[in-house]
Amino acid sequence: DTGVSQDPRHKITKRGQNVTFRCDPISEHNRLYWYRQTLGQGPEFLTYFQNEAQLEKSRLLSDRFSAERPKGSFSTLEIQRTEQGDSAMYLCASSREQGVLKQYFGPGTRLTVT
Amino acid sequence: SQQGEEDPQALSIQEGENATMNCSYKTSINNLQWYRQNSGRGLVHLILIRSNEREKHSGRLRVTLDTSKKSSSLLITASRAADTASYFCATGIGGSNYKLTFGKGTLLTVNP
């Protein structure tokens, strides 16, 4: 396994700007997840893909957030009109479809909205 | 909302000592997993225990699960400075085999 990669690792943006993050999962993993983690908290589930289909979205994912996985490989998470409350670590994870439920996490993208 | 709650929130021990962290959860689960997170990095899966299991070992890790009390514990034996990290329990809840719900974590510091 080459591991889950995320880009960029850090992003500083001004309030109101749009940002996009990319996640490349482990190549043979069908499932891809996005989580958000704020300081002192555990990760919170945002959304989940099986192949290219987005199967579930958390209530945390407001209309300003959109995630895609167009070819069932990499995924993007876009935040429009960023707010200071969006400052967090955005984590991507992937897993196989069946069997062990273990999720492999990427290093995360730390977003700071000024 | 957080499903699991780890206890204690922070733990500081000397190298060579054992560290025990506890996790309590609220609803029925399919499985419970423990993850480690080094400062500012992604999470690393440590161990998974299914709801029909009571104890599991992996190297220096021992996990127990008590579904009647809705609690789990993670024991790290003979701790090392490299074990310094935050430890999270995560549950697969209800019929979900994919959505993990994490607690707030225990910050473990192992002093050399």
Neighbouring residues of B52: CB distance < 8 A, sequence distance ≥ 6: none
Find which of B5, B38, B45 to mutate to test the A interface (most A CBs within 10 Å of its CB): B45
Q: Which residues neighbour B82 within 8 Å (Cβ) at sequence distance 6 or greater? A: B110
CB contact under 8 A, B99 and A42: no
Per residue of chain B (112 residues), give pLDDT as tens: 456 688 899 999 999 999 999 999 888 888 899 999 998 788 999 999 988 999 999 999 999 999 999 999 999 999 999 999 999 999 876 556 677 889 899 999 999 9
Rounded to whole angstroms, the Cα distance separating A53 from A68 reads 9
- Contact B100/A45, CB-based, under 8 Å? yes
Contact call for B33 and A101, based on CB within 8 A: yes
Determine the Cα–Cα distance for residues B77 and B67; give it in Å rounded to an integer.
Answer: 23
